[in-house]
Amino acid sequence: MGRSSLGRGSALQYATLVLPGMLIFGIGVIVPMGLSLCYSFTSWNGFTHDLPRSGLANYGHILTDSHVRDAWWFTIRFAFWNTIVQNVFALLFAVALDGNLKGTKIYRTIFFMPCLVSSIVVGFIWLRMYSDVLPAISTTLGLGLNPRLFGSAGTVLSGFLIANNWQWIGYWMLIYLAALQSVPMELYEAARVDGASRARQFFRITIPMLAPAFTICIVGITIGSLKVYDLLVSSTGGGPGRASTSIIYLIYDTAISGRQYGYGSALSMTLILALLAIAVVQLSVLRRREIQL
Amino acid sequence: MKRSVAFAAGVALAMALALPGAFAQGLTTVKILDGQSTTDAGIEKLIDQAVAAKYPDIKLEWEIVGWGDAFQPKMQQYMQSGLPDIMIGKGQDVATYAGLGVLADLSGKPYLKNVLPAAVASGSYKGKPYGVVFNALYQGVYYNRKFFKDNNIAVPKTQAELQKVIDRCKSLGVTPFATHFKDLWSIGNITMQFAINDVFNKTPDWGDQLRAGKASYAGSPEMKASYGYNKLIYDNTWKDETFSLEQTACDARMVQGKAAMKVSGSWSIQNFLDVNPDFDFGIFPFPNQSGNAKLIYEPNITLMVSKTTKNMSAVDKVLSVITGDKTLDQKIYDLTKTASMVKGAGPTFKNPSQKDIDAYVAKNQLVDAGSGNNQLVWGGFQDENAKDIAAWLQGQETIDQALQAADARKASSKP
């Protein structure tokens, strides 16, 4: 009796705690997703009161739309290179700053500061860097370089990778740093006693012990990069042409500016599915790796 | 003690919340969505002051967005939740939103008499006034008059003459055209300028013919020529920089004498005169294939009213102030460096290109930008075409692919 009463009380307590979050999540995420799914079966332009049904036509169009293919290609390349570069450099910086270097705290602060700046502002900063500051430096030093990376379809991706990595490496570095500092020193001491070199210690102890941090960083960077939007808005506007149009940018452009709300909704549904699939695959692979290690 | 403190705090809070409401009784709030061009920043303060001075019982609540990138999305949003009382857009918005049945018919409104007949005509849809045009922009090729004069360069009227000007500029070591293709709207704007004189000048209902399948981008030599002019300009500008350059920097270079011409509109005048108040410049229409190009006039600030506004009386008062207060109007024209569409009011700033404009007006060589913009909508069509043109200039597409892409999206072209 008493246990049952306690169970009911606990359930009520849990429900009370969970309900606000559930409500916010439901109203802010689930309901819009449901509406988006409904709109995706229409050819609604976002203006009219009637919602002309179009069945699966929008989904069929996605398969043949070259702009969708190009936007995904840009987004995937952006996510791929970000994931590699950010993880490698964040880990290297974390290892470097985990030691007894002089001025470690200052370096950490400097590396971390860019991630406090809004991506919109980062876009402006790098637009100015590429269009004004770096060309002026190049001219002054007589380097003969054209650092206007945002001005050409061939270099715009590199420009964004530099800007995005500049912003976020410090953030992921802190995650790795925290993970590094939680590795028990006894493991290193035992390895040293066994005569393991620094490199062997790094690959046999440090890397395996960082597996949970790898999971967080890889999934976080990948998903974050796949959702890139604000950085593009304030710098290139998806250009030149459509050379830096990400999938989210295309969705906004199609649904809002392009007055194809139904088609834009269908695009957003496919993005949700893709993000889910990528996250599930990454998590299952990385978690399995964590267990193995 | 604690209870009395809490009670006193509660009473104070209730009074603080209730009192402003009590004081606000009798005050009508008019909501305005203002889709501004770069030249328009600051007009809201001038209007606020003028309305407050004449109608202290009216409060204006402004929402200011960039016309090019945010006006249409905002309208889309408000069409679901209820439009603001007044919308300020461009002349071409009248056809779009009156066509959707959300604008008030302004027939018989007394303030229509405050503006020029052309201002009412440009704001009309199917013969009824749904918008009041407040000012106008002129579009064409702005040129450095002193440079032209010093080097005995005549204003070109044909493509062959334009080519000679380009060659002469190059021989003098001056970049023929100032451009800022980083701004997508700039590519879209100049392409429409070319099309107005080469396509719509010849076939006034070309947009309707496109949608009816009687005309096409890929099959029209005139439209192909219009696209081609972009290449002519791109080949004669700072190619390595134009896709990284913004309007302000570009206009400054023009004033500094680094370029001789710029296909643009009155929105550049503000920048020109900011950099050098004595800069001497003129304007001519970009030469078309037949040598009869006209200077383009664009209805700019256009006042529209929601069909469902509950504050029509206050809205009427606000519009009567905007179109009837000559001091206010002159301040706005001087700030925006634009031409007047209000009777008896005009700018007082020195506009070196005015004598050219007057000459084209006298010769009836003027064409309304609406001849093209009212047939081919900007959002979702012209802007997408501009992206294809940029991709073509960057070598990512061919001109034929860019033209075919425009044909493929013709269903989205209707305003």
Q: Is residue B19 part of a domain?
A: no
Higher pLDDT, A144 or A67: A67
How far, in Å, CA of A36 to CA of A264, rounded? Answer: 9
Inform me whether the pLDDT recorded for B24 exceeds 70: no
> Domain limits at A246?
62-292
Chain A residues touching residue B72 (CB < 8 angstroms)? 256-257, 259
Q: Is residue B225 part of a domain?
A: yes
Average pLDDT for A219-230: 92
Average pLDDT for A208-230: 91
- Are B188 and B139 in contact by the 8 Å Cβ rule? The answer is no
Average pLDDT for A73-99: 94
Average pLDDT for B241-268: 95
pLDDT score of B21: 47
pLDDT score of A72: 95
pLDDT score of A48: 82
The model's pLDDT over B192-221, given as tens digits with 9 standing for 90+, comes to 999 999 999 999 999 999 999 999 999 999
Close Cβ partners of B374 (under 8 Å, ≥ 6 residues apart): B91, B92, B95, B415
The fraction of chain B above a pLDDT of 70, given in percent, is 94
**Number of domains, chain B:** 2
To the nearest whole Å, the CA of A149 is away from the closest chain B CA by 8
Average pLDDT for A140-159: 92
B37: confidence class by pLDDT, cuts 50, 70, 90:
confident
B197/B283 same-domain check: yes
How far, in Å, CA of B232 to CA of B224, rounded? Answer: 12
Radius of gyration for the alpha carbons in chain B, expressed in angstroms and rounded: 24
Inform me whether the pLDDT recorded for B6 exceeds 60: no
Close Cβ partners of B1 (under 8 Å, ≥ 6 residues apart): none
Q: Is residue A16 part of a domain?
A: no
Chain B residues touching residue A46 (CB < 8 angstroms)? 76, 79
pLDDT score of B247: 94
Residue in this structure with the two tokens 């392409």, named with its chain if needed? B191
Using the 8-state DSSP alphabet, how is residue B113 labeled? Answer: G
Residue in this structure with the two tokens 């579009």, named with its chain if needed? B139
Inform me whether the pLDDT recorded for A3 exceeds 60: no
pLDDT score of A2: 47
Q: Identify the contact set of chain A against chain B, taking CB-CB distances under 8 A.
A: 46-48, 127, 130-132, 135, 146, 148, 150-153, 236-243, 256-261
B23: confidence class by pLDDT, cuts 50, 70, 90:
very low
B47/B95 same-domain check: yes
Q: Is residue A238 part of a domain?
A: yes
Chain B residues touching residue A145 (CB < 8 angstroms)? none
Phi-psi region of A178 (alpha: psi -120 to 50; beta: other; left: phi over 0): alpha
Q: Is residue A106 part of a domain?
A: yes
> Domain limits at B256?
137-297+359-412
How far, in Å, CA of B410 to CA of B406, rounded? Answer: 6
Chain A residues touching residue B181 (CB < 8 angstroms)? 240
Inform me whether the pLDDT recorded for A291 exceeds 70: no
User: Residue A152's domain is classified under what CATH number?
Assistant: 1.10.3720.10
Using alpha carbons, select from B297, B289, B288 the residue that is nearest to residue B371: B297
- Out of B76, B184, B244, name the one closest to residue A130 (CB): B244
CA atoms within 13 A on the CB side of B383: 21
pLDDT score of B68: 82
Q: What is the mean pLDDT of chain A?
A: 90
Strands B366-368 and B295-299: parallel
Task: Give the three-class secondary structure for B61.
Answer: strand
The model's pLDDT over B264-280, given as tens digits with 9 standing for 90+, comes to 999 999 999 999 999 99
Inform me whether the pLDDT recorded for A145 exceeds 90: no
User: Residue B67's domain is classified under what CATH number?
Assistant: 3.40.190.10
Taking CA atoms, what residue in B is nearest to A45? B76
pLDDT score of B208: 95
- Out of A150, A257, A260, name the one closest to residue B244 (CB): A150
Sign of the torsion formed by the C-alpha atoms of B171, B174, B177 and B183: positive
Using alpha carbons, select from B23, B3, B4 the residue that is nearest to residue B15: B23
Average pLDDT for B82-86: 95
B394/B317 same-domain check: no
The pTM of the full predicted model, rounded to 2 decimals, is: 0.85
Q: Identify the contact set of chain B against chain A, taking CB-CB distances under 8 A.
A: 69, 72-73, 75-76, 79, 100, 181-182, 184, 240-246, 249, 379-380, 383-384, 387-388, 390-392, 394-397, 412
Domain edge (last residue) among B282, B310, B340 = B340
Q: Is residue B24 part of a domain?
A: no
Asked if B244's CB is within 8 angstroms of A259's CB, the reply is no
B282/B375 same-domain check: yes
Close Cβ partners of B97 (under 8 Å, ≥ 6 residues apart): B75, B87, B89, B103, B130, B304
Q: Is residue B50 part of a domain?
A: yes
Inform me whether the pLDDT recorded for A86 exceeds 50: yes
B128/B245 same-domain check: no
Sign of the torsion formed by the C-alpha atoms of B183, B412, B229 and B352: negative
Name the least confident of A77-86, B4-13, B34-43, B60-69.
B4-13
Average pLDDT for B133-137: 93
Average pLDDT for A228-241: 93
The model's pLDDT over B284-298, given as tens digits with 9 standing for 90+, comes to 999 998 888 999 998
How far, in Å, CA of A44 to CA of B396, rounded? Answer: 31
To the nearest whole Å, the CA of B251 is away from the closest chain A CA by 15
pLDDT score of A290: 64
Q: Where in B145-255 does DSSP place strands (E)?
A: 175-177
Chain A residues touching residue B390 (CB < 8 angstroms)? 239-241
Residue in this structure with the two tokens 């270079």, named with its chain if needed? B253
Taking CA atoms, what residue in A is nearest to B73? A256
Inform me whether the pLDDT recorded for A259 exceeds 90: no
Q: Provide the H-helix boundaries in A100-246.
A: 104-112, 119-128, 134-141, 156-181, 185-193, 198-201, 207-209, 211-226, 230-233
B182/B67 same-domain check: no
Average pLDDT for A265-287: 88
Q: Where in B239-294 does DSSP place strands (E)?
A: 259-265, 281-284
B289/B408 same-domain check: yes
To the nearest whole Å, the CA of A84 is away from the closest chain B CA by 27
How far, in Å, CA of B390 to CA of B183, rounded? Answer: 10
Phi-psi region of B86 (alpha: psi -120 to 50; beta: other; left: phi over 0): beta
Interface test with A, best of B83, B179, B243, B307 (most A CBs within 10 A): B243
B280/B322 same-domain check: no
How far, in Å, CA of B98 to CA of B68, rounded? Answer: 19
To the nearest whole Å, the CA of A267 is away from the closest chain B CA by 16
Burial (Cβ within 10 Å: 0-12, 13-18, ≥19) of residue B239: middle
pLDDT score of B8: 60
To the nearest whole Å, the CA of B244 is away from the closest chain A CA by 5
